[in-house]
Structure 1
Amino acid sequence: MKVTPEEQRKILNRLKRTEGQLRGIQKMIEDEKECIDVITQLSAVRSSIDRTMGLIVAENLKACLEQPADDPSEQNAKIQQAIQMIMKK
């Protein structure tokens, strides 16, 4: 994965924040918190992961367009792969 150091920092910060949310959910389950509260936090984690995935795909697509491959068919394959990753959501 090729991203700028700034983008890498952003991605890692998002993942660390998500990791903290997951630890919080584990604690909520241990403390027998209400189901709706746990589900709400799980939904927030899913949303965070989705945003992180979108950021990674967008950065890779941007790099693909700014630094095209020498082979047009290889370039097209990379773009199609990025589109498929976005559409899986």
Structure 2
Amino acid sequence: MDTVRSEEETKKVINRLSRAEGQIRGIQKMINDDKDCMDVMTQLSAVRSSIDRVMGMVVANNLKDCVENPEGDPAAQSKKLEQAINMIIKK
């Protein structure tokens, strides 16, 4: 998907991904330190939620771009919107 993002939006996405990266490193350490399974699962769930939020941000930006900068070809515009919607509902 092509998306035009402002510098601020890009920064927000990168910050969230960096936090998720740090969480994953923490989970790796927990596993190496043989921490409790439920604690590890709690952290894995938090990472999954974080990534889901990032995906939502990216797709929302794409939808916004589609509405604000429509394709000249209605069929191409419809395809971009359909792709974005499918990304939102796909789990």
TM-score, reference length from structure 1 = 0.97
User: What is the CA-CA distance between 1:2 and the residue it aligns to?
Assistant: 1.9
Q: Which amino acid aligns with 2:6?
A: T
Query: 1:69 corresponds to which residue?
Result: 71
Instruction: For structure 1, list consecutive stretches of 5 or more residues without a partner in the other structure.
Output: none
Query: 1:84 corresponds to which residue?
Result: 86
Deviations 1:22-47 (A, max 9, x none): 00000101111000000000000000
CA distance in 1, matches of 2:52, 2:80: 20
Query: What's the C-alpha RMSD, in Å, of the aligned pairs?
Result: 0.7
Query: 1:49 corresponds to which residue?
Result: 51
Larger relative contact order, structure 1 or 2 (CA cutoff 8 Å, min sep 6)? 2
Aligned length: 89
Deviations 1:53-77 (A, max 9, x none): 0000000110010000001111111
Query: 1:23 aligned to 25, 36, 54, which one?
Result: 25
Instruction: For structure 2, list consecutive stretches of 5 or more residues without a partner in the other structure.
Output: none
Query: 1:37 corresponds to which residue?
Result: 39
Identity within the alignment, %: 62
TM-score, reference length from structure 2 = 0.95
